[in-house]
Amino acid sequence: MTYQSGPATGTQQTPEQIAAGMVRADNSVYFQAWSQQTENFAVSASEFFDGLKKTNTIRPDMSDFAYFQAMVRNMGLSKSKGVLGLTDMQDISAMKDVLKASYIDGIPWFETLQKQSQSPYASSSSGPKFSKEVSTALTLIDKTDAEDILSKAYYGAFGVMPNNKQIENFKTRFAAEAQRQLAETVTTRTTSGTDTSTSAKSATKTTGLGFTQSEQQQFIAKFLKNNYKITGKEESGRVATIIDDLQRVYQDNLLPEPPLEELTAFAADAIGTGDPEMYKQKIDAKLQSVRMVAAKMHPGAADILSAGTDIKTIATPISQALNSYLGTNIAYNDPRIKELVNYNDGTNIRTANSIEIEKWARKQPEFATSAYGKNRAMDIADAFEQGLK
């Protein structure tokens, strides 16, 4: 939504209208960003950026100026790799473009960054890589946030809340790891000269490069794996879902379930995967490996199993057809269903078609006493009687 400046007729101005008026004021830094007189912007910007360097209204662990820098680098607007917090002309140029866009939309610079960063087109593969220093600056959680983060992750995984001891343990270990990986900036100074003159040079280098968001996810995932004993009796959370999905894929493919210990071990390993994509791939691969075991035992369903479909999808219609023919209550996993899933036509082993299913049903002892069987017998008798007339 674009904010409109100017008074609201008959009513007080909204906060959005007030903000738009400030952004679009003739003497604002946003207005000066469009000025053809570069010195006008320089004067206005120096005061504006000096103010940002002294405040930390967005993130308590970094100045608003450093946050502005980090965001334009993250979004690919600036290719600078300089130290955050120090003035860099590549960053200033990118910041100026953000101020221009903010003026057009009538919103503060941080709202422009927020909207643009949420766009699926905010960055591209050809843009600069997101350095660990910037990643850490934008995503590193404070120790005081750790309780909330662990609680959400723990409950999401296991369906229960962590105890106080686990929370304190996590806080301490997370803070220690963040400190261990903290980026360090070192400035070296060298001098040279003669008896009559001396010159000096200085160089700044950042090492250590910080605790990235990906590494934080890995840290949390490893902590979850190592600080909870999975029992298999969890009623909610990702662990319960993983175990339920594994049990279901065995059942739906007419296979005996493995021991619970095997399922819980896999669930723990999956929970310990910090990358969401790898987590999904690990589970999908496990489910498909079970289907491929079923394909060897049930060659008539090998094609659908290879495509990621479970035997239950074809076994259920077969059981429903048999029940209508025989008046029974045969389940999809009945041993007799396996015979029709793996129907041998004398040449190939495949799933029986509807005609073959009915022929097979006619040979079963229940057929003669079923409603369908009796009706068929009466139809045959009627046809025979009609033939005698």
- Name the stretches of the chain with pLDDT < 50: 1-10, 121, 123-139, 185-186, 202-209, 377, 379-385, 387-389
CB count within 10 Å of CB 265 equals 12
Sign of CA dihedral 66, 70, 76, 78: positive
Burial 38-49 (b: 16+ CB within 10 A, else e): eeebeebbeebb
- Position 308 scores a pLDDT of 93
**pLDDT of res. 97:** 92
Q: Residue 71's pLDDT is what?
A: 84
pLDDT score recorded for residue 143: 54
Which SS3 state, helix, strand or coil, does residue 87 take?
A: coil
Tell me how far apart the 2 most distant CA atoms of the chain are, in Å: 138
- Which residues on neighbouring strands pair with residue 203, listed in sequence order? 188
Tens digit of pLDDT for each residue in 31-43? 888 887 778 888 8
For residue 384, give the H/E element and its range.
helix 371-388
Interatomic CA distance for residues 48 and 266, integer angstroms = 54
pLDDT tens digits, one per residue of 226-238? 888 887 777 778 8
pTM above 0.85, yes or no: no
Alpha-carbon span 77 to 71, nearest angstrom: 9
